[in-house]
Each structure stands twice: as C-alpha cells, then as structure tokens.
Structure 1
Amino acid sequence: MPLLDTPVRFGVQIQPQHTPYDGIRDAVRRLEDLGVDILFNWDHFFPLTGEPDGLHFESWTMLGAWAEQTERVEFGALVNCNSYRNADLQADMARTIDHISAKGGDTGRFIFGTGAGWFQRDYDEYGYEFGTPGSRLDDLAAGLERVEARWAKLNPAPTRKIPVMIGGKGEQKTLRLVARHADIWHSFVRPDEIAHKVDVIERWAEREGRDTSNLVISNEVYGHGVEHGDALYDAGARLITFGFRGPDFDFELIESWLRWRDSKNA
C-alpha cells in the first residue's frame, strides 16, 4: 500500500494564463508566505481555458525564476510534457533548477512532474509530432529511462534524488510507468476509484520488482469543498492540489484549504 503514515501536503497549481507575470510572481510570494507546501505550474504554450489566444507563459523558464525567488516551498510542473524537449535536456534542466533552488546548504526543492502530453494545439503550432496516445506513452517510457540515466552522469549530480511525479490513470501503460519510476502518482480520479488504481500499481510493481510502499498519492480538488478533501484523504491521498486561477487570485480560499490540511495533521 502506498505511503499513508505521512503528513498531508497542500499544493497549488498557479495557472500560467490570463495573468501578467507580475501577478504570478506576487502569487508565488504570497502562497509561500501562507505556508503552501508545493507550487506547480503547467507545461503548455497556450491557455487551456478562456480566451484561446490570451496571455500565457512557458513552464520551465518560469520554474527557474521560482527556484531563485522561493526559499522553502517545493515546486515543479504539473506536469511537464515529455514530447516538447529532448529527454537528456529535461534531465539537465531539472538538475540545474534543483541546484538553483538549494539555499543555505539545504538540498534542492524541485519535483520532476512529467506526462505524455495531450494538447494538440501545442504540438501543431510548435512543430512537434502529435502521434497517438500510445506512441506518446511509449516516448514517455523511453524518456524516463534517459532522464534517470542522465541524472546518474551529470556533474555536479542533483543535490538529492529528484522526486518523480507521473500524472495519469491508464492501467496498461501509465500506471506501469508509475510503478517503475514514480515517487508521486497524480490523477483526477474519484476517491472511490483510488483503491482500484492503487491495486493496479501494486500489481505492476510486483512485476517490475519495485517497492511502492513510499509512493505518495496526489489528487486535485479544484472546484470542490473540503468534504471532497476528506474523501480523498480517507482513500489514501496525501498530496492535495488546487488549481489557482488569476488574475484575481482568491487567497482566502487557499487559507481555508490550509486550515483543512492542518486539521488533518494535528
């Protein structure tokens, strides 16, 4: 069974759309000051909601800025698209951001969240081959092997074992990659689906010869109240993430979720 005897952490995904960067920078500062555990963005090139050609910023360059700006919070993309960058380059970028985020002798705070990709407009406009869901997952499998191999070669090495978060729920390919590589499994599945998905991961882990007892289950609560958080907690989720929309960020809503987190950890 994945890790349950661990504090609940609360993550916020700052949507990098429809907001000037000054507003995003200020949200990062305020969220860290409020006590959020993890900050995420997403890895796309165009807005996913609202005006299709509205304001939008690139993921990895933003994460480099967060590495320098923040002092305590962990951070990463929810999730990086494996298709958009050479896998060895991804590894080197992650290692570099890991080092930038290490302050005062501490280890870095970067989380390598990754997935196979799905937003066709990104592919079409930036010149990537869209392929099929199956081919993109095969590319992700090969990419993860290369990322881990490159981390073992880089000089300097990462400051810590960079946590790998894999997003998705497909049982034949995605969850097998979770069993093989992930420290965190992120999905949007309902609380009553989690036990089945965890069973699938554990069966794949047995075939892969990997111990998943320290796997952290992550799930999304955007648009839901704390009762949904309770149901996810009871199902085993220990990382709860909230999608945060600008430009008028509602920090009081974040504070309410942080109080919920603290009540679970009391």
Structure 2
Amino acid sequence: MPLLDTPVRLGVQLQPQHVTYPQLRDAVLRLEDLGVDILFNWDHFYPLSGDRDGLHFESWTMLGAWAEQTERVEFGALVNCNSYRNPDLQADMARTIDHMSAKNGGAGRFIFGTGAGWFERDYDEYGYEFGTPGTRLNDLADGLARITRRWDKLNPAPTRRIPILIGGSGEQKTLRLVARHADIWHSFVGPDHLPAKLEVIERWAEQEGRDTSDLVVSNELQRRDEAFADKLYDAGVRLYTLGFGGPDYDYDRVRAWLRWRDAKNA
C-alpha cells in the first residue's frame, strides 16, 4: 500500500516554454515564497504546446540554477528523459545538483524524476534513436540500474539517498520499475483506476522483494477541480502537481491549491 500518513504536498511544474529566462527566474522565487513544496520543469527541447518553434530552455542546466537560487523547495524534472544522456552521467549530474542545493550543512533537495521518453521531435532533431516504447523502457531499466550503482561509487557521495520519481502507468514494464526503484510514482490515472494500478505495483514488489509501504503516489491537477482532487486523495494520492505556464502566470490559481493543501493537512 502507498504511504498515506505523509502530508499532502503541492508541486508546480514550470513549463520552460514561451517565456524569457528572467521570467522563469522570477516565477521560481515567487512560487517558493508562496509556499509550494516542489518545483518541477520538463526535459524537452521544443515547446509541447502553442508555437512549436517558440522560446524554450533546457532542463538540467536550469535545475542547477534552481539549486543555487532556492532555499527550501525540493525540485527536479517531471520528468527527465533517460534517452538523452548517458546514465552514469545522469547520476553524476544528479549528485552534483544534490550538493549544490544543500544549504547550511543540510541535505540536498533534488528529486530525480525520470521516464523513458516519448517526444519524437526531440529525438529526430537532436540525433537520438527513437526506437519503440519497448526499447525505450528497456533502456530506462538498464539506466536506472546504472544510476543507482554509480551513486554508490561517487566521491563525494550524494548528501542523502536521492529520491527517485518514475512517471507512467504501463503495467508490464513501467510499474515493475516503480516497484523496483521509485520513492514517488507519478501518473495521470484517475481515482477509479488507481487501486488496480497500485495492486499491480504490489504484485511486482513481491517479485522484487521490496516493501512499497513508503511509496508516495503523485498525480496531476491540470484541468481538474477540488472535487476530483478529493477523490484522488481518497485513492491514496499525496503529491499533486500543477502545470504552470507563462508569461502571464496565474498565481491566484496556485494560492487556491495551497489553501486546499493546507486544509487537507490541518
């Protein structure tokens, strides 16, 4: 069963498209000041909506800046694309950002969110082999094994056991990787279907010899209302993510979800 006695947290995914970098930098500061728990971006090279050749910025470089810029929030990509970088390099990048984000002798705040990739234009334009969903998931499985091994070898080691977030809901491969590696499982699965998916994770966990009672279930708030979020909560969701696009950022929307979060945690 997922971890239910953890507080509800709100993550905001800053979409790195159609804005200038100063606008993104200002949004990061404002969102941390408002009290969000986690900041995410996404790992793509072109906009996913609007003008497909519009302004866009790269994920990992930005995360390094966030590590220095912020003081409290956790942060990461929702999600990193495993295909774009050597897994051992990903591990080293994650470890370095983890150290960069540690303040006053404390632990780092980086969350390693990852997935198999899906946006074909990224692959075509940057020269990566697109393959198939199956081959990309196989590569993710190999990559996660290499990443966790590399974390054990790096000097200095990460400041903490870096949390792993895995996105997706495929039952044969993705959820097995969730059972094997994830601290956080993120999906768009609705409340009526979450119990069945969690049962699949439990079955895989038994085969993997892992206790998933500490698994945090994460889901999406975009185009959803509080009644739907309540149903997700009843189904076990404790981390909620909100897509947030600019340049006309609607901070009142974030404040409303923060009030909902605080009411749940009261």
Say yes or no: TM over 0.5: yes
User: Letter of the aligned partner of 2:137 in structure 1?
Assistant: L
Distance 2:97 2:207 in 1: 33
The residue aligned with 1:127 is 127
Q: CA deviation at 1:229?
A: 1.1
Structure 2 residue matching 1:261: 3-state secondary structure:
helix
Distance 1:51 1:176 in 2: 36
The residue aligned with 1:92 is 92
Q: CA deviation at 1:83?
A: 0.0
Distance 2:154 2:237 in 1: 33
The runs of at least 4 consecutive aligned structure 1 residues that moved more than 4 Å come to none
Distance 2:175 2:102 in 1: 31
- Kindly report which structure 2 residues correspond to 1:196-207, keeping only aligned pairs within 5 A, or say none: 196-207=196-207
- 1:184-223 alpha-carbon deviations (Å, 9 max, x no partner): 0000111111101000000000000001000000000111
Distance 1:21 1:200 in 2: 41
Verify: 1:211 aligned to 2:208, yes or no.
Answer: no
The residue aligned with 2:11 is 11
Structure 1 residue matching 2:192: 3-state secondary structure:
helix
Please, what is the CA RMSD of the aligned residues? Answer: 0.4
The residue aligned with 1:192 is 192
Question: Quick check: 222-231 or 176-185, which moved more?
Answer: 222-231
Verify: 1:28 aligned to 2:28, yes or no.
Answer: yes
Distance 1:38 1:261 in 2: 13
The residue aligned with 2:236 is 236
Structure 2 residue matching 1:10: 3-state secondary structure:
strand
Q: CA deviation at 1:226?
A: 1.3
Structure 1 residue matching 2:196: 3-state secondary structure:
helix
Q: Percent of aligned pairs with the same residue?
A: 77
Verify: 1:113 aligned to 2:133, yes or no.
Answer: no
The residue aligned with 1:160 is 160
Structure 2 residue matching 1:129: 3-state secondary structure:
coil
The residue aligned with 2:248 is 248
Verify: 1:59 aligned to 2:82, yes or no.
Answer: no
- Structure 1 unaligned spans of 5+: none
Structure 2 residue matching 1:191: 3-state secondary structure:
coil
Distance 2:138 2:186 in 1: 19
Distance 1:32 1:226 in 2: 22
Q: CA deviation at 1:224?
A: 1.4
- 1:99-153 alpha-carbon deviations (Å, 9 max, x no partner): 0000001100000000000000000000000000000000000000000000000
Distance 1:110 1:244 in 2: 20
Q: CA deviation at 1:264?
A: 0.2
Q: CA deviation at 1:245?
A: 0.8
Verify: 1:42 aligned to 2:42, yes or no.
Answer: yes
Distance 2:72 2:31 in 1: 11
- Kindly report which structure 2 residues correspond to 1:132-143, keeping only aligned pairs within 5 A, or say none: 132-143=132-143
Distance 2:232 2:24 in 1: 28
Distance 1:39 1:193 in 2: 27
The residue aligned with 1:261 is 261
User: Letter of the aligned partner of 1:173 in structure 2?
Assistant: K
Structure 1 residue matching 2:232: 3-state secondary structure:
helix
Distance 1:236 1:176 in 2: 19
Distance 1:56 1:192 in 2: 36
Q: How many residues align?
A: 266
Distance 1:67 1:255 in 2: 23
Distance 1:180 1:228 in 2: 29
The residue aligned with 1:170 is 170
User: Letter of the aligned partner of 2:256 in structure 1?
Assistant: S
